[in-house]
Structures are given as structure tokens and as C-alpha cells.
Amino acid sequence: MTSDPVDPLRPANAEDVIDRLVEWLSIPSISAEPAHRTEVADSAVWLRQRCLDAGFTSAEIWETDGHPAVFARWDGAGDEAPTVLVYGHHDVQPVDPLEAWAHPPFEPVIVDGECRARGAIDDKGQVLYHVEAVAATLAESRMLPVNLKLLVEGEEEIGSPHFEQLLVDHAAALDCDVIVVSDTGMISPDIPSTDVAMRGLVAATIELTTSSTDLHSGSFGGTVPNAARHLSRLLANLHDDQLRVAVDGFYDDVVPLDDGEQRSLDEQPFDETEFCAITGVAGLEGELGRSPLERIGSRPTAEIVGMSGGYVGEGIKTIVPSRATAKIAFRLVPDQDPTEVMRLVDAWVTKTVPPLVDVSITWHGGVAPVRSSTRGWAFEAVSATIASIWGAHPLLTRVGGSGPEETIARRLGAPMVFLGVGLPGDRIHAPNERMVMDQFWRGFHAARKLYGELADRWASR
């Protein structure tokens, strides 16, 4: 453990905080896998108890038709103070391929100033620095400058299927003046940034069936349809020669960047060599005529997430596969509508696959893209906070990832700001996910600072 007692970022109780972080990250709260249902619930119970111990006025488990959320609140700042709702999630991604992990994903270690575990940065680590910021502030002064609500859901990694219902059911409890999202990142500790938009997400499982049974490739090969070949052709046609998504009408509702955002995008540094080193790729590719940062944040995409069909064991099996399956994730940008995109993709698949192939499409979740304002008291508070902690005013970025932020903003009707400490090399959703501990401690200080900045700017708005 790189314990440095003179590190000014580390609070006095840093070791206790780390113990709690390790304890929570040890719970495999994988929302996508039914086998881990109990652990997602255990994770919620852990967080509720930690919130109570931290000094929140109350903390509850909110059950859903899927995995539970946690809601905690501290109400002592009075009616004049703003009510701040912090959003995060306690569920995590699956961990396969397990053999690619240097350490077991649910046995967290602190190595080289990094916490290595599934969920370290996405998103338990980012939730915990808020909880510990509340705990520290209350321990010092018995008071927070704002009324604080913490909403931590358990289904973010599966597209938040029950989250909107949760927001509807608990609308009164969730009433707030500003939403702080802590589930994102920044360009680097030296070039801090904050987000002003997130991509939406819809994902499909597409299964093609050409026969009731696999067929012998000697006896039938060459004259019966091959499900794997048809899937390959469908997937190969998903992008055109310009690497644009070939689904008819896919770009119809995409709003171009305005001049201000385009300028901010152009100012962002991008080191292709470093980017390739971080991602482990030999080179970049994507929609022609767009820069890499533009492609990630402000352009919609379709990525094949996985595919399978036929025999993939050892050696060879001489069959014509009768079934083949692919999963495709579509990232959406303002003002694409998830429901409309699903309709367009359904129509495109139906049009593209020939009649002798049976098609089944299953949709997973549906998250709309979201934009937040770059002006006003809330944005100024987060901008000043980041400037104070990281030493520079943040650049404006768009998040390539997706979450239920659009739903929160729409349902709660409050401005939304982003405080996120993730870094490009954190390997979220991949083996060896990490959180850089210096960023964790900066997040802790930034959270404490932000509550004060929000209170001040609310008062003088």
C-alpha cells in the first residue's frame, strides 16, 4: 500500500476510508447476472448502513421490480439552503474474461496508488467519496451547507430498467434544486474537465435461425442457409464504407454541435499515441471526417458487443450452424430518441435479412441522450470547485458513455452538473478496472467544496 502520511490529499482517517472502500468493492454486485442477485441486495444493505453511520438523517433501501436502490438524506440545512441530489450506482459490470484480471475482481488491492477492483471507479468509488465527504463535514461541524439527498441505484449497468418508475414512485422524496452526477471522468488530473452531455444507449440481442438443427457441412454445405454467414453479412452491413451506421434514418435527429461546443472540443488535447497505448490498439478507426474525440462524445455509434454461433470448441466440427446471435449497442446523441432508434433498427434488420432466415430481436433497456446547461449558478459552482481542487477551470466535454441522467433531469426538473474523477486509463467495464487514489481523495475534497459552492451561489443567484 502506498501509504504516504505527508500526502496533503489524504484525510486523517484515510486508512479507515480505504478499509470501507475495500469492503464494499468486495461485494460482487453484478446486476446483469441473476446468480448475483443476492449480492446486489447485499451491496445496497452495506451502503445504507454506511450512510447511517456517516450521519445521514435517514437511509432507506428502495426496492424495485429488479435490483434495489439506496436513498439517504440529510435535512438539517434549513429551507433557505438548496437541496442537492447526488446520483450514483452501486451495481457493477460482469467480469469475464476472468483470466485477464491480474487480481481477482472482487478482492480489491491498493497497488501503485491505484485501487484495483470491479466497481472501483464505476461507480462505488465515486459514490463513496460523497458519503465520506458528508461524514467528514458532519464530524467537523455537525452541519452541511446544503440539504443533501443521495440516490444510488442498482441497475445502471443493465440500462436502469426500473429507474424511471422509482423516480415516479418517490417523486416527493426526490424533490431537489440541483442534481450532481458522479459517474463520469475527466481528461486528466492536469486538464480537468466537466461534462455537458451524455450519449444515450439502446442495445439489441439479434438471433438468426436458419434451421431447427445444425446440419452436416459435407452432406448439406453449399446448399442450405448458414446462420453464421447471414449474421456476418448483417453485422458487416451495419456500417457503410464511411464507417457511418447504415441503419436508414439513424442520423436524422442528430443535432450538430453549436459553435461554442465545437470550439471547446477543438481545444481539447488528444494524444493519439497515448490513446493507443491506453486502449492497446494498433491504430484508430471510426466515422470518416470526424476527429476521435468527436466520434466518442458527440457522434452516435453502433458497436458489436458480442457474437456467437455454431461450434467454437477445440478442433473442428463440420456443421452448418442453424443459429447465430449478436449483441449490438447503439450510442445515441441529442436529439436521437431511443424508441425511434429501436424502430429504425428493427426495420433495417427485417429489410436486410433474407426471408429464409428467421429473426428475433430483443431490446435491452433504453437510455436517452442528455445535455446540460453550461451557464447558471449550478454550473458555475461545479466549475469553481474543479478549478479550486484541480487548479484549472474545466474544459467542457461530452461523455461517450450512457446512463439514466436524461431520465433524472427530465423527471426531477432540476439543473444537472457533473463531478467525475475517472481517467481515460481506468478500464471501466474491462478487466483490471482501477481507480487512481489521488483522484479519489480529490473527489472527496471536491465534494465537500462543491456543497459549499452550491450553497453560496444558490443564495446569490
Amino acid, single-letter form, for residue 133: A
Q: How far is the CB of 330 from its own copies (least distance, A)?
A: 10
- Complex with its own copies: residue 13 or 352, whichever CB lies closer: 352
Lateral strand order in the sheet of 370-371: 370-371, 193-198, 395-399
| CA atoms 10, 12, 15, 21: torsion sign | negative
Of 317, 304, 319, 321, nearest in space to 209 by CA: 321
Please answer whether residues 120 and 428 qualify as being in contact, where contact means their C-beta atoms are separated by less than 8 angstroms.
no
Q: Is 169 left (phi over 0), alpha (psi -120 to 50) or beta?
A: alpha
Dist CA 347 CA 113 (whole Å): 50
Of 130, 10, 125, 129, nearest in space to 438 by CA: 10
- Complex with its own copies: residue 171 or 356, whichever CB lies closer: 356
- Complex with its own copies: residue 43 or 402, whichever CB lies closer: 402
Q: How far is the CB of 293 from its own copies (least distance, A)?
A: 8
Instruction: Spell out the residues 6+ positions from residue 197 whose beta carbon is closer than 8 angstroms to its own.
Output: 297, 298, 333, 334, 369, 370, 371, 372, 398, 399
- Complex with its own copies: residue 220 or 337, whichever CB lies closer: 220
Q: How far is the CB of 90 from its own copies (least distance, A)?
A: 17
Q: How far is the CB of 216 from its own copies (least distance, A)?
A: 4
Dist CA 300 CA 77 (whole Å): 42
Q: How far is the CB of 205 from its own copies (least distance, A)?
A: 8
- Complex with its own copies: residue 388 or 432, whichever CB lies closer: 432
Q: How far is the CB of 356 from its own copies (least distance, A)?
A: 4
Q: How far is the CB of 370 from its own copies (least distance, A)?
A: 13
- Complex with its own copies: residue 76 or 225, whichever CB lies closer: 225
Dist CA 160 CA 404 (whole Å): 7
- Complex with its own copies: residue 89 or 199, whichever CB lies closer: 199
